[in-house]
Structure 1
Amino acid sequence: MSKQERWSKLLELLAVEGKLDVEEAAASVEVSAATIRRDLDELAEQRLLVRTRGGAIAHGVSYELPLRYKSSRRASEKQRIAGAVADMLGVGEVIGLNGGTTTTEVARALVLRVGAGQTEAGDGLSGPLYTVVTNALNIAGELAVRPQFKIVVTGGVARPQTYELVGPLTAGVLNEVVLDVAVLGVDGIDPQLGVMTHHEDEAGISRLFAERARKVILATDSSKMGKRAFARICSLDRIDVVVTDSGIAPDMVTRLTEAGIEVVAV
């Protein structure tokens, strides 16, 4: 197991348990306790956890792990969600994608959809099958080399934690485009407060994506349901569809449905 894989596993365990014990972590990852101690020291230096005697604790429930360390968390759920979202996106549509692990999976699912020959309806179209507008550098990088996609990158200042571009330059581009669908990854969905994320600059850009779109789809796993984060994106009345996994609580499905939102659990 590489160091990056080991770190991802440790951060997954920390996200679940809220704390880590060196000996237990060593047994789980199948390396020596000395290796785990070094790993925890290095992760603490990057402010991904707080070192304690004998282990480590999480910074807090709202602490945002950098994208590269979050990508393996709930991976199977995110892939199922992404596949369901991709099936909702039509050939020829202009699609907005904000940054995040789930929206990255949506982009990959679209690539697979094209590769699997599921877009025969687009054979009569000249040019790309999809236009994707994104403020996520990693999504743009993955799609830009594929001729089936026209990629519009917003510009802006890059956030290293999520590869998202934010700021006035980002807003300036979004204010000049019209989207058929916006697919948003979020950090919290609350029946009263609406849709939220950890950072106010990202919230403002995601809000613009929603405002510029005819249809808004939330792509998020069930762990975000009922959770609150620092910055509000929009109220639930701006959302058309929530695509999540089967772990969503029945009462949350009811509340979202009562708010006029179609809920798809995969």
Structure 2
Amino acid sequence: MNSVERHQIILKRLQEKGSINVLDLGKELDVSTVTIRKDLKLLEERQMLFRTHGGATLNNPYTIDRSVVEKEKLQSEEKALIAEMAASLVVPNDSIIIASGTTVLAMARHIHPQGNLTVVTSALQVAIELNRHSNVEILQLGGMMRSSSASVAGPYAEKILEDFFCSKLFLGVDGIDPDFGLTTTSGLEAHLNRKMIEVSQKTIVLADSTKFGRRGFGRICGFDEIDEIITDKNIPSHMLKELEGRGVKVTIVE
């Protein structure tokens, strides 16, 4: 089989599945992974695909900053399932941090607090959503408001966090990449998220399967700093294996 024939098969598999894995292609085409990587590099240079960790995809792996309104329409069913699972982890008389993002906002809508609940949040819509409960005490962080996410970031918000410690952080992300870790589209938000991790006993990431293999501008942290990822059944199998191999608990909702 020559390179042209390999490229045709690679592109066909990509059209069928949306993403492909170097190891799987090597076995199917009976060539080395080095050869497959060279093929993918050439096809990327021709703008026919995007290379990712261990494979390739049709979608640009570099995330862009979208508005909350636009993001809420994407993977809404998956986000609802993830949100419901995350909300079930909130215990009576808990003290938690909820970061920004549409999946954590969906989680806020699923919270039915037992006893008293203290919530620290950077997201205005999360605060408004939880304000309807009389037994929820909300600490809204202050700072520079990001119009795209309706959430705050910056040194003032980070300074406020220094006075608190919470049992759990529920964190939304824009990208999860094996090499680069967890990311968001904003450098300021990434820095605030790191502060949130520092003052939380446990970090739980809420991310639908489209976030895997993608990178945002601002790096939040590596996998060693998170405890659990809640995602949907479409998580790529190689990513699931990678995460579990690094000791990250992955909860899959269906």
Q: TM-score, normalised by structure 2?
A: 0.74
Which residue, out of 141, 157, 163, partners 2:128?
141
Q: Distance in 1 between matches of 2:62 and 2:239?
A: 20
SS in 1 for 2:100: coil
Cα distance in 1 for residues equivalent to 2:143 and 2:76: 29
Q: Which moved more, 1:146-155 or 1:236-245?
A: 146-155
Question: Identity of paired residues, percent?
Answer: 33
Cα drift, residue 148 of structure 1: 2.1
One-letter amino acid of the counterpart of residue 169, structure 1: Y
**Counterparts of 1:163 and 1:109, CA distance in 2:** 20
2:137 to 150, 157, 160: 150
Question: Which position in structure 2 is the counterpart of 1:168?
Answer: 155
* Letter of the structure 1 residue corresponding to residue 89 of structure 2: M
Could you give the per-residue CA deviations for residues 123-168 of structure 1, whole angstroms, max 9, x where no partner exists?
xxxxxx2111001111111112321211011111111100111111
For normalisation by structure 1, the TM-score amounts to 0.70
Instruction: Mark the runs of 5 or more structure 2 residues left unpaired by the alignment.
Output: 1-58
C-alpha distance in structure 1 between counterparts of 2:179 and 2:60, whole Å? 26
Residue correspondences, number: 196
Paired with 2:144 and 2:218, the residues of 1 have a C-alpha distance of 19
The question of whether the paired residues in 1 share the 8 Å contact of 2:166 and 2:200 is answered with: yes
Pick the aligned partner of 1:232 from 214, 219, 224.
219
- Report 1:61-80 matches (<5 A): 61-80=62-81
Deviation at 1:105, TM superposition (A): 0.5
Give me the whole-angstrom Cα distance separating, in 2, the residues matched to 1:261 and 1:88. Answer: 17
TM-fit CA distance, 1:88: 1.5
| CA displacement 1:49-76 (0-9 Å, x = unmatched) | xxxxxxxxx9995221111121111111
Tell me the residue number matched to 1:187. Answer: 174
Measured after TM superposition, the shift of residue 93 of structure 1 is: 1.4
